[in-house]
Amino acid sequence: MSGRLWDKGEGVDRAMLRYTARDDWQLDQRLLPHDLRASVAHVRGLGRIGVLLPGEVDALVLALEELVRDAAAGAFVLTPDDEDGHTAIEAALVRRLGDVGRKVHTGRSRNDQVLVALRLYEREALADLAEAARFAALALCETAEREAMTPMPGYTHLQRAVPSSVGLWLSAVAEGLADARDHVQATRNLLDRSPLGAAAGYGVNLPLDRAGVAAELGFAGVADNPLASQSSRGIHEVAVLGAAWHVCAVLRRFAWDLSFFTTSEAAFVRLDPALMTGSSIMPHKRNPDLVELMRASCAVVQGASTELQTLVALPSGYHRDLQLTKAPLMRGLDEALATTRLVPRLVAGLVLDRAHMLAAVTPECFATDRAVDLAVAGVPFREAYRRVASEVGELGAGDARASLRARVSPGAPGALALDALRGRLEPSPPERRG
């Protein structure tokens, strides 16, 4: 007999098997701890409804826990001969326990098995991403606080517009990350219901203790409708990458700003030399490759999301197409996490040329202040605007710090609401755990 769960003793084409299994064994290696954890909960649930005897439950749980340890120690490694992780788990149980191992799959399908493993993996990955976004935002807040009164030009259309501050720029990125973190956490909540028990997508003729299994796995509840659970595959993954995209889109803008501000032309900011690469031919070059790849990481996540969106154009029920959702999901999450985790190091290493930034707050940057001042003195704003416009060439140097101090509505350069922002960046409550 082959190791295939669906082997009926008939011949199967090897090329077809290779084509359909693809790299699933590699991707499933990462799902293995989650699949094993869900298998323990499933087995205990079968025990509670009397489908497995207490001794069988104990033997299976013990063996599964051993496999968890083996997987963590690198001793339970999937190979191309394993069609997928689910097959490898059952085969390992049969090797250890014989017929008792052959009972583990009672009342479940690989369809709900992969669904629950994916949800557990995604919840963990999203918790990691939320935490990374939090640390990145806090690092930005720290520098923003120190540089709250460091003037720099504020730009619109990449043209100098009004006096701004380094603090405003960096805390804007931090607030963007706080929003993205909220999105990540909301997406985690979307995944907070257990699909285990959906079986092939239509339930099963057993009174499964789905609620008990869900609670053991740390889910808030059960995803009731089994076909809806099945249909969530792929759609939820698009939502997960949507949240990852949000984080990366904020960082892409920050990376773009840094690319601009570190040019020899702007020369406002320098990166830590340890974070720069060199050129193979131009001896003088120090290049901001890190920042450029941070900018590109959003494209990786977006590409993965597009791949998923294209894959999930399917009718109800399981389709093998769904197997191909795993690679883009993991690629996108890995990319977002790697990018976000580098941000604190990048921010800590920024070297500011404060004098150069101040010099770039040229007289025309004060034109708006001047028009507002006239309006406050009673000149109708449109009239004040025209008067200043006609004299722009004659505007003298302004006081950038005074201009910043005068912007006092909460969050504005003169009153950065960093405490409120830090309040949004409290650590999230500890995980529910079964």
Residue 373, both tokens: 């001042």
Binding of ligand ARG at residue 308 (CB under 6 A)? no
Binding of ligand ARG at residue 110 (CB under 6 A)? yes
Q: How far is the CB of 238 from ligand ARG (least distance, A)?
A: 16
Task: Examine the residue annotation and report whether 232 is marked as an active-site residue of this protein.
Answer: no
Instruction: Return the exposure string of 219-247: e unless at least 16 CB atoms fall within 10 Å of the residue's CB, then b.
Output: beebbeebeebbbbbbebbbbbbbbbbbb
Contact 238, 305 (CB under 8 A): yes
The structure tokens 């603090």 sit at: 167
Q: Is the dihedral of CA 87, 93, 96, 97 positive or negative?
A: negative
Nearer Cβ to ligand ARG (110/188): 110
Nearer Cβ to ligand ARG (164/323): 323
Nearer Cβ to ligand ARG (113/171): 113
Q: How far is the CB of 18 from ligand ARG (least distance, A)?
A: 14
Q: How far is the CB of 254 from ligand ARG (least distance, A)?
A: 35
Task: Count CB-CB contacts under 10 A for residue 368.
Answer: 16
Nearer Cβ to ligand ARG (84/257): 84
Binding of ligand ARG at residue 318 (CB under 6 A)? yes
Q: If we measure between CA atoms, which residue out of 201, 191, 289, 293 comes closest to residue 242?
A: 191
What is the C-alpha to C-alpha distance for residues 183 and 58, in angstroms, rounded to an integer? 40
Binding of ligand ARG at residue 284 (CB under 6 A)? no
Of the residues 2, 34, 105, 157, only one is catalytic, namely: 157
Binding of ligand ARG at residue 111 (CB under 6 A)? yes
Half-sphere exposure of 191 (CA within 13 A, CB side): 30
Q: How far is the CB of 358 from ligand ARG (least distance, A)?
A: 57
From the list 71-79, 110-118, 291-299, 300-308, the region that binds ligand ARG by CB under 6 A is 110-118
Binding of ligand ARG at residue 196 (CB under 6 A)? no
Contact 339, 248 (CB under 8 A): yes
Binding of ligand ARG at residue 25 (CB under 6 A)? no
Nearer Cβ to ligand ARG (84/209): 84
Q: How far is the CB of 234 from ligand ARG (least distance, A)?
A: 10
191-to-127, 222, 240 alpha-carbon distances in Å: 12, 10, 9
Binding of ligand ARG at residue 229 (CB under 6 A)? no
* 353 Cβ contact list (under 8 Å, min separation 6): 267, 268, 269, 270
**What is the maximum alpha-carbon separation in the chain?**
93
Task: Examine the residue annotation and report whether 246 is marked as an active-site residue of this protein.
Answer: no
By CB under 6 A, the residues from 80 to 109 that bind ligand ARG are 84
Nearer Cβ to ligand ARG (4/345): 4
Count of chain residues binding ligand ARG (CB under 6 A): 9
Nearer Cβ to ligand ARG (110/246): 110
Of the residues 2, 279, 316, 356, only one is catalytic, namely: 279
Among 14, 157, 320, 433, binds ligand ARG (CB under 6 A): 320
Q: How far is the CB of 104 from ligand ARG (least distance, A)?
A: 16
Binding of ligand ARG at residue 24 (CB under 6 A)? yes
Give the three-state DSSP class for 103.
helix
DSSP symbols for 175-189: HHHHHHHHHHHHHHH
What is the C-alpha to C-alpha distance for residues 15 and 319, in angstroms, rounded to an integer? 20
Q: How far is the CB of 24 from ligand ARG (least distance, A)?
A: 5
* 367 Cβ contact list (under 8 Å, min separation 6): 388, 389, 392, 395
Binding of ligand ARG at residue 8 (CB under 6 A)? no
Q: Which residues bind ligand ARG (CB under 6 A)?
A: 24, 84, 110-111, 114, 318, 320, 322-323
Active site residues: 157, 279
